[in-house]
Amino acid sequence: MNTLERLATLDRIRKLSRLMDNAIRIPGTPFRIGLDPIMGLVPGAGDVVATAFSAYIIYLAARFNLPREVITKMIFNIGLEAAVGTIPLVGDLFDAYYKSNIRNLALLEQHLDVVEPELSEVASVMAEPSTANL
């Protein structure tokens, strides 16, 4: 993957992770939830679909040649969330608080900060809102 493809993949991972874990602010609180706990409310299929999205995020992250330990932590995060998520109501609350996709994004970004600091710098500059239109 060239640098532009790597940046696009990192951006896709960030967007999907935030969509799944932090997309919706609970009115009157600072707490945010994503689609993951909402999908979990659909018996059976909801948790399967949410876990599939999480697995896709790990698939994208693996393209950055992550060490086995990092991928193992990522798989543990979604495995734990998937296992606890099968418990009615308690699992949905756990999904809302645990946020495995955001945890996995943090693991990826920590790895990139060490291995490819220039990629992290460019990605953070690209993620900042532009002030040119002000």
Stretch (H or E) spanning 50: helix 45-62
Mean pLDDT score across all residues of the chain: 88
Question: What would the pLDDT profile of 12-29 be if each residue is shown by its tens digit?
Answer: 999 999 999 999 999 999
Return the pLDDT at 86: 85
Rounded to two decimals, the pTM is 0.87
C-alpha atoms less than 13 angstroms from C-alpha of 116 in its C-beta half-sphere:
16
Question: What would the pLDDT profile of 61-74 be if each residue is shown by its tens digit?
Answer: 999 999 999 999 99
Residue 19 C-alpha from the chain's centroid: 8
Which of these, 109, 103, 17, 100, lies nearest to 64 by C-alpha position? 109
Sequence-distant (≥ 6) Cβ neighbours of residue 4 within 8 angstroms: none
